[in-house]
Structure 1
Amino acid sequence: MKRIIARLWRIIRGPMQWRVLWLAHSKFMVGVTGVVRRDDGWVLLLRHRMWPPERQWGLPTGYAVKGEEFAQTVVREVREETGLEVKPGALVHLKSGYKLRVEVAYEAHLVGGDMKIDSFEILEGKWFSPDNLPEGLQESHRLLILGKDPNG
């Protein structure tokens, strides 16, 4: 039976193999977070409208779209949510295993723009010193800001 399956696999080559793999495996959403810093080290935090009221403060976050490089997701999400322009830096977090979501986080550096909040998703945006972060900040985001592993 294994030989027959292997032979069929070689016969269907290319796009058909990809379709079979796509049908047989889980599909994931990729949540991407940006730890956006200014030259002085202060970090951009947003108060998210859709998040629980007791935990609304967090880093700029959004989902990657098909074909998008994850570092560019940070650039797009920050621009959409705040009007600011950032340059992505190092990958600082990668985790899978939460249902069908993969979590990715990058450092990012402010390079320009004026803060113009997208009021549909964001209630407010402010810069904070890493030594003076607000109440109601997502704990995993606090750890990312402090350079610690959110997985413990």
Structure 2
Amino acid sequence: MKRLVARLWRAINGRMQWRVLWLANATFMVGVTGIVRDDEGRVLLLKHRLWPEGRQWGLPTGYANAGEKFEDTVVREVAEETGLKVTVAEGRPAHLKSGYRLRVEVAYEAFFVGGELRLDAFEIEEAGWFRPDRLPRDLQESHRRLILREPVD
């Protein structure tokens, strides 16, 4: 039986193999967060309109598009939500977490490089630059930990 399966697998090659693997394995959404800092060490925070009351302040966050590098997701999401331009720090992600049912989370350090603040009014109520020792009270706790470079559960 194993030999037959191996022969069939080799016969379908390439694209069809990928489709079979995709159907047979879990598919995840990837949430990508940018920890955007300016040259004064302040961090960019957004008050998200669609997030739960009392936990609306957080870092720029969004889902990766199919085939998109996660670093590019940070750049795109910040631009879409704020109009600002950022660059992502080279190296590993600042945070990576799996174990959710259908989602993986990844965060990258990023740096502000320019642009004027223009908020996406549908998603974002407010935006501001905050010193790490003066973060908003209703900031997502996991985002507070990312900003302070503490372990995130």
Give the TM-score category using the shorter length: over 0.9
Alignment partner, residue 32 of structure 1: 32
Q: Percent identity?
A: 67
- In the alignment, what sits opposite 2:20? 20
- Opposite residue 26 of structure 1, the aligned amino acid is A
Distance 2:98 2:3 in 1: 33
Match of 2:97 among 68, 73, 95: 95
Structure 1 Cα separation of the partners of residues 123 and 151 of structure 2: 27
| Deviation (angstroms), 1:119 | 0.6
Provide the residue aligned with 1:81 in structure 2.
81
Q: CA deviation at 1:149?
A: 1.7
Which consecutive residues of structure 2, in runs of 5 or more, have no partner in the other structure? none
Deviations 1:73-111 (A, max 9, x none): 000000000010000114101111111111010000000
Task: Output one character per residue of 1:9-51: Cα deviation in whole Å (capped at 9) or x when no partner.
Answer: 1111111111110110111111000000000100000000000
Runs ≥4 in structure 1, deviation > 6 angstroms?
A: none
| Corresponding residue of 1:148 | 150
What is the DSSP-based 3-state SS (H/G/I as helix, E as strand, rest coil) of the residue aligned with 1:46?
strand
**TM-score normalized by the length of structure 1:** 0.97
Measure the CA separation in 2 of the matches of 1:66 and 1:122: 24
Aligned residues: 151
Q: Aligned letter for 1:32?
A: V
How many angstroms apart in 1 are the aligned matches of 2:2 and 2:97? Answer: 34
Q: Which amino acid aligns with 1:87?
A: T
Aligned to 1:6: 6
Tell me the residue number matched to 2:51. 51
Structure 1 residue 62 displacement after superposition: 0.3
Secondary structure in 2 matching 1:97: coil
When the two chains are superposed, the root-mean-square deviation of aligned CA atoms in Å is: 0.8
Displacement of 1:4 in angstroms is 1.3
Higher relative strand content: 1
Tell me which amino acid in the other structure corresponds to 1:38: D
Q: Distance in 1 between matches of 2:63 and 2:18?
A: 23
- Please tell me whether residue 71 in structure 1 is matched to residue 59 in structure 2: no
Counterpart residue type for residue 144 of structure 1: L
